[in-house]
Amino acid sequence: MKEIIQKVRNLSVGFKSQKGHEISILKNITTNIKKGETVGIVGESGSGKSTLALAMMGYVKQGLFTMEGECIFNSSNLLAMGNRDLEKIRGRKIAMIPQNAGQSLTPNLKIGYQIDEALKLHTNLSKNERDKKISELLNKVRLPSPETIALRYPHELSGGQQQRVAVGMALAGNPDLLLLDEPTTGLDVTTQAHVLELLNFIAKDTGTSMVYVSHDLGAIAQVSDRIIVMYSGEIVLEGPARDILKQPIHPYTYGLLKSIPKLSLAGLPDSMPGSQPQPGAKTKGCSFYDRCNLAEDKCKKNSPNLEYVSELKTSVRCFNYKKIIEKKSEKQSNIKRNEKNIKINEILNLTDVSISYAKQKLLDQILNKITDTNPTVKDINININKGETLALVGESGSGKSTILKSIAGLLRTKEGSIKFDQGRVLSNDLKKRNSSDLRAIQLIFQNPDESLNPNHTVEEILAQPLKLYFGLSGEELKKNIIELLEKVRLGKFYMTRYPRQLSGGEKQRVAVARAFAAKPDIILCDEVTSALDVSVQAAVLNLLQKLKEDFGTTYVFVSHDLAVVRAISDRVAVLYQGRLCEIGPSKNVYKFPSHPYTEVLLGAVLEPDPDIKPKLVAEDIVEDKPPEKGCCFQGRCPRILGDKCKNETPPWQIGDNGNAIKCHINIKDLEKKQNGN
């Protein structure tokens, strides 16, 4: 048995409500962290996982307080310690790697200084030794030319580089325990896979224990030895990572795993109804009762205890876990999408579209001279059929949202044309589009918090498009609003609510309802599920699919998540640096042969399965600008041929599967090479 380095004993953390009640957000947590092991803490937002990780450093956020229990490190309780003593432990014995490194590095201090600060506090090295150590640390986290990085300010680095700096800074004090709070959330897929690989390497190399907090079971699966699943401030499942992922015996974890879209499976994942109860809302019974399909009367009255199941080495908080063990033979069977009603009936066509963010100089504008020869988005040729879902996929900076905005008319195209409805060219000036064209194309945004006016009730939000496009009023308006709410499975009583009174998933449903209120032909979805928890994501995806089938709407679906795209789309277009790399039916794009960039992206996807490891085939370099000539992917391509790729724009090649690839490598050779891997 390995030595235990941190003991959490019966820990409850909470806050005082305005009425003076004590409301707990962590309830009686007891767990141990052993030397050298990596523990993954997983849960949806609001489950208390970050609060738990912070408490392990003796830190309780402002407004919260420890109600009972202790966090014991080196035989002393961190939560009862004074600041002076904690300063000696934080950064030296226990270090934190934060979620958003960009915001966690002090903006006015250079990278070198911030690492030096940690070294000064926690080591006795001289100035020269520290300088050497800074380079060493930056080298260890695989940052190129450490000396120059040390002289930069945080904002001068890319997201992945900032995250590496944060890892390096945490390693400065040679800690025994590393706490990682969503360290890869917000990074691009390929960067995320690289950072995870680095963390795995560090865990092996230094023997440091790690606590990895994340909502992403895919990431957790790649790093953890043991997994703790949290729900509503409680541990509901705890055990060895492999067992938890292969055979989750708590209904919540079972549902959670089923709601994650997977690359290998077409169709939509199962969704879990409902949402996590608000802190303090539930006083008796199981906190998962409302959403559980195994719930019985006793679950409503009594809360189950965490029970150790010795044959599985797992602790579970459920009366009925045996029923789930019986269900294990049941394979994941995704809901089949209805693909029949797609006919070749073009509704939207983008021809040679290019978009530039560069401002033209006044003189050039007068002379009508095109100065920007290398626009952000270039040569986009896409046609979309009625009733189809076309997905645009790519990492940040790939131009996918830019294209969406120009279809909506929010951004002017520089060249090329966007044709709608039997080849009629849409003006690139929003003001020149007529009301019916504006109505026909609707947009749903990524973050419903920002796209819904916080001072309007749901009724007012939904009334606006109905009044604007159809001139409805009075009873008829109200009837239509109720109908819309029912379509997105929200009750009539939501009408009087404000966005802040809704959960994330409910808000996005209202946003979906608002888009459908205009009875549009095309809906542009910009990362609509990225801000949502997995179980809610599955529900929104299912809703979108249902509505599409009912109304025959066409979707243009932008996402960075290849698994989500696999689940919902009929066709996929892969973009890199504003240029098309590959386009084809989604069932074929996910098969080989692929464009080398698609191959890189697919390799980096994290699946919630410890047996599927990401394949890192390309460096995660960040390119500021697309190359002036040649192939757009030349800078990172693992299969680059040489000068040809650098100088000549690659041709389109069409594979047997119907997917088109823009690459110099012969498509047959590409297939052989990729299947060889």
One of 156, 330, 450, 669 touching other proteins (CB under 8 A) = 156
Between residue 15 and residue 54, which ones bind other proteins under the rule CB under 8 A?
Answer: 54
Q: Could you say whether residue 88 binds other proteins (CB under 8 A)? A: yes
Residues for the chain: how many in total? 677
One of 75, 108, 310, 455 touching other proteins (CB under 8 A) = 108
SS3 76: strand
Long-range contacts of the stretch 269-272 (C-beta < 8 A, 24+): 269/332, 269/334, 269/335, 269/538, 269/541, 269/567, 270/332, 270/334, 270/335, 270/538, 271/535, 271/536, 271/538, 271/539, 271/541, 271/542, 272/535, 272/538, 272/539
Q: Helices 111-122 and 127-140, interaxial angle, to 10°? A: 120
Q: How far apart are CA 502 and CA 494, in angstroms?
A: 9
Task: Give the nearer residue to other proteins in terms of CB position, either 155 or 331.
Answer: 155
Work out the angle at residue 321's Cα, subtended by the Cα atoms of residues 319 and 323, and round it to the nearest 5 degrees. 110
One of 10, 17, 74, 103 touching other proteins (CB under 8 A) = 103
Q: Could you say whether residue 95 binds other proteins (CB under 8 A)? A: yes
Q: How far is the CB of 96 from other proteins (least distance, A)?
A: 4
Q: Could you say whether residue 14 binds other proteins (CB under 8 A)? A: no
Binding mask 222-241 for other proteins (x = CB under 8 A): --------------------
Q: Could you say whether residue 82 binds other proteins (CB under 8 A)? A: no
Q: Which two tokens stand for residue 660?
A: 């088109």
Q: Is the peptide bond before 593 cis (omega within 30 degrees of 0)?
A: yes
Q: Could you say whether residue 90 binds other proteins (CB under 8 A)? A: yes
SS3 283: coil
298 CB-near residues (< 8 Å, 6+ apart): 319
Q: How far is the CB of 563 from other proteins (least distance, A)?
A: 29
Q: How far is the CB of 57 from other proteins (least distance, A)?
A: 6
Binding mask 168-207 for other proteins (x = CB under 8 A): -x---x----------------------------------
Q: How far apart are CA 145 and CA 449, in angstroms?
A: 40
Q: Could you say whether residue 117 binds other proteins (CB under 8 A)? A: yes
Residues binding other proteins: what is the number (CB under 8 A)? 33
User: Rounded to an integer, what is the distance from CA 351 to the centroid of its chain?
Assistant: 31
**Residues 461, 510: contact at Cβ < 8 Å?**
yes
Select from 102-110, 288-296, 324-332, 429-437 the region that touches other proteins (CB under 8 A). 102-110
Task: Give the nearer residue to other proteins in terms of CB position, either 117 or 561.
Answer: 117
Q: Could you say whether residue 89 binds other proteins (CB under 8 A)? A: yes
> Is the four-CA dihedral 337, 342, 346, 351 of positive or negative sign?
positive
Task: Give the nearer residue to other proteins in terms of CB position, either 175 or 304.
Answer: 175
Q: How far is the CB of 415 from other proteins (least distance, A)?
A: 25
Select from 94-102, 253-261, 281-289, 562-570 the region that touches other proteins (CB under 8 A). 94-102
Q: How far is the CB of 170 from other proteins (least distance, A)?
A: 8
Q: 424 - beta bridge partners?
A: 420
HEC readout, 157-202: CCHHHHHHHHHHHHHCCCCCEEEEECCCCCCCHHHHHHHHHHHHHH
> Is the four-CA dihedral 74, 76, 77, 80 of positive or negative sign?
negative
Q: How far is the CB of 58 from other proteins (least distance, A)?
A: 9
Q: Which two tokens stand for residue 417?
A: 């044309």
Q: How far is the CB of 409 from other proteins (least distance, A)?
A: 29
Q: How far is the CB of 357 from other proteins (least distance, A)?
A: 14
Task: Give the nearer residue to other proteins in terms of CB position, either 178 or 353.
Answer: 178
Task: Give the nearer residue to other proteins in terms of CB position, either 181 or 526.
Answer: 181
Q: Could you say whether residue 106 binds other proteins (CB under 8 A)? A: yes
Task: Give the nearer residue to other proteins in terms of CB position, either 153 or 498.
Answer: 153
Closest to 25 measured CA to CA, from 66, 56, 59, 57? 66
Work out the angle at residue 669's Cα, subtended by the Cα atoms of residues 667 and 675, and round it to the nearest 5 degrees. 100
Q: How far apart are CA 494 and CA 499, in angstroms?
A: 10
One of 59, 494, 555, 557 touching other proteins (CB under 8 A) = 59
Distances (CA, A) of 216 to 256, 613, 615: 10, 15, 18
Q: How far is the CB of 471 from other proteins (least distance, A)?
A: 45
One of 18, 75, 83, 310 touching other proteins (CB under 8 A) = 83
One of 60, 81, 86, 612 touching other proteins (CB under 8 A) = 86
Q: Could you say whether residue 100 binds other proteins (CB under 8 A)? A: yes
One of 91, 279, 397, 596 touching other proteins (CB under 8 A) = 91
Q: Could you say whether residue 87 binds other proteins (CB under 8 A)? A: yes
Strand 209-214 and strand 38-42: the pairing is parallel
Residue listed under structure tokens 């947009």: 443
Task: Give the nearer residue to other proteins in terms of CB position, either 102 or 304.
Answer: 102
**Residues 377, 553: contact at Cβ < 8 Å?**
no
> Which class for 346: exposed (0-12), middle (13-18), buried (19 or more C-beta within 10 A)?
middle
One of 23, 60, 81, 121 touching other proteins (CB under 8 A) = 121
Q: Could you say whether residue 349 binds other proteins (CB under 8 A)? A: no
Read off the amino acid at residue 193. A
> Which class for 359: exposed (0-12), middle (13-18), buried (19 or more C-beta within 10 A)?
exposed
Q: Could you say whether residue 155 binds other proteins (CB under 8 A)? A: yes
Q: How far apart are CA 446 and CA 532, in angstroms?
A: 9
Torsions phi, psi for 587 (to 5 deg): -65, -20
One of 42, 55, 64, 105 touching other proteins (CB under 8 A) = 105
Task: Give the nearer residue to other proteins in terms of CB position, either 62 or 283.
Answer: 62
Q: How far is the CB of 123 from other proteins (least distance, A)?
A: 12
Q: How far is the CB of 99 from other proteins (least distance, A)?
A: 8
Select from 1-9, 101-109, 249-257, 351-359 the region that touches other proteins (CB under 8 A). 101-109
Strand 314-316 and strand 554-559: the pairing is unpaired
Q: How far is the CB of 26 from other proteins (least distance, A)?
A: 18
DSSP 580-603: EEEEEEHHHHTSSS--HHHHHHHH
Select from 81-89, 249-257, 305-313, 327-335 the region that touches other proteins (CB under 8 A). 81-89
Q: How far is the CB of 536 from other proteins (least distance, A)?
A: 25
Task: Give the nearer residue to other proteins in terms of CB position, either 118 or 408.
Answer: 118
Q: How far is the CB of 89 from other proteins (least distance, A)?
A: 7
One of 35, 92, 497, 519 touching other proteins (CB under 8 A) = 92
Q: 212 - beta bridge partners?
A: 40, 180
Q: Could you say whether residue 62 binds other proteins (CB under 8 A)? A: yes
Q: Could you say whether residue 78 binds other proteins (CB under 8 A)? A: no
Q: Which residues bind other proteins (CB under 8 A)?
A: 54, 57, 59, 62, 83, 86-92, 95-96, 98-100, 103-109, 117-118, 121-122, 153, 155-156, 169, 173
